[in-house]
């Protein structure tokens, strides 16, 4: 690996280390939306917000800040198609529930006619769904919200209108693994790369104790390249296996002085 790459990275080390400190003890959570088929031309759902509960009561709710709010046609999200609603770093640990907050612009299209969908309870308190999963530091997770349009649109009696009573199944799954390790001496302050073939899939920097965490690494086999600052020799660890939802811990890496 060319040394000028290291120098380019070294210029950004201070900023990168700050960013890494901000992400200590976090996992990445993605929330995606899909639909079971329904016999409608369109079912438009107005998604305004998403909240995650890491506790057991109302005080545990935290609103996600990177939500792609908007109106989504569920009929366009069938047959394995989904869309990203949010992606955010969250503190590692257990999450118990997810809450989907809907707006007022919910409609169903039948025989080329658009009908409003009344959703009073959803607008007031949101749709609470059980998740009950644990986020491990460095791992990427997806919560898939499977919105059953066919069961969620309900005729409002003789009024001719329709109510939206959402039937949603939530599935939480790990999407990646991670690689953790330590490098000594810590003052070598290396950049660390997970590489497969010619592709660098994850990059990290060691902290003051020489510890690093390569995040969001897909299952597979990698070489880990430890590229220190001037005065120390680069080192490569071959054949590092990564499995889904797990953190692979390397044997301590010791660098030699030049």
Selection from 172, 178, 175 nearest residue 133 by Cα: 172
Domains 27-174 and 177-254 fall in the same CATH topology: yes
Residue 47, classified by CB atoms within 10 Å of its CB into exposed (0-12), middle (13-18) or buried (19+), is: buried
Domain ranges of the chain: 27-174, 177-254
Can you give the length of the chain in residues? 258
Secondary structure E strands in 92-219: 93-102, 107-110, 113-118, 127-135, 140-148, 153-155, 162-164, 168-174, 177-184, 191-196, 199-205, 211-217
Helix residue ranges per DSSP H, the chain: 3-11, 13-22, 120-125, 149-152
Beta carbons of 100 and 69 less than 8 angstroms apart: no
Alpha-carbon radius of gyration of the chain: 23
pLDDT at 123: 54
Task: Give the CA diameter of the chain.
Answer: 84
Residue 190 CA, chain-centre distance (Å), reads: 27
Cis status, amide bond into 169, omega within 30 of 0: no
Q: What is the second-level CATH architecture of the domain 177-254?
A: Sandwich (2.60)
pTM assigned to the model:
0.83
Helix 3-11 to helix 13-22 angle (10° resolution) is: 60
Contacts 24+ apart (CB under 8 A), 252-257: 252/181, 252/182, 252/183, 252/184, 253/181, 253/182, 253/183, 253/184, 253/226, 254/183, 254/184, 255/183, 255/184, 255/185, 255/188, 255/190, 255/226, 255/228, 256/232, 257/231, 257/232, 257/233
Selection from 30, 31, 36 nearest residue 147 by Cα: 36
Query: Which pLDDT tens digits describe the chain residue by residue (258 residues)?
Result: 444 444 344 433 333 433 344 456 999 999 999 997 778 999 999 999 999 998 766 778 999 999 999 999 999 998 889 999 999 999 999 999 999 999 989 999 999 999 999 886 655 567 889 999 999 999 999 999 999 988 999 988 777 789 998 889 999 999 999 999 999 999 999 999 999 999 999 999 999 999 999 999 999 999 999 999 889 999 999 999 999 999 999 999 999 998
Spell 56-73 as b/e; 16+ CB within 10 A means b: eeeeebeebeebeeeebb
Element (H, E) at 76: none
Q: How far apart are CA 200 and CA 158, in angstroms?
A: 61
Question: What's the CATH number for 27-174?
Answer: 2.60.40
Selection from 178, 176, 181 nearest residue 235 by Cα: 181
């Amino acid at each position: 690996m060319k040394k000028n790459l290291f120098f380019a990275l070294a210029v950004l080390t201070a900023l990168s280390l700050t960013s890494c400190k901000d992400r200590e003890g976090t996992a990445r959570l993605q929330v995606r939306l899909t639909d079971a088929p329904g016999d409608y031309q369109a079912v438009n759902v107005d998604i305004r917000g998403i909240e995650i509960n890491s506790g057991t009561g109302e005080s545990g709710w935290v609103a996600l800040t990177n939500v792609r709010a908007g109106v989504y046609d569920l009929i366009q999200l069938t047959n394995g198609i989904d869309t990203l609603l949010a992606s955010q770093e969250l503190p590692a640990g257990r999450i118990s529930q997810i809450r989907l907050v809907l707006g007022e612009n919910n409609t169903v299209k039948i025989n080329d006619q658009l009908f409003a969908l009344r959703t009073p309870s959803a607008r007031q308190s949101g749709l609470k769904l059980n998740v009950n999963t644990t986020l491990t530091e460095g791992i990427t997770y997806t919560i898939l919200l499977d919105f059953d349009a066919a069961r969620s649109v309900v005729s409002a009696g003789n009024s001719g209108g329709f109510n939206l009573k959402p039937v949603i199944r939530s599935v939480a799954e790990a999407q990646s693994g991670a690689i953790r390790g330590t490098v000594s001496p810590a003052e070598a302050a290396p950049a660390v790369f997970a590489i497969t073939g010619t592709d660098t899939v994850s990059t990290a920097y060691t902290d003051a104790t020489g510890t690093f965490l390569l995040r969001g690494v897909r299952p597979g086999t990698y070489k880990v390249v430890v590229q220190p600052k001037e005065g120390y020799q680069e080192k490569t660890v071959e054949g590092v296996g990564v499995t889904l939802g797990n953190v692979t811990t390397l044997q301590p890496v010791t660098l030699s002085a030049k």
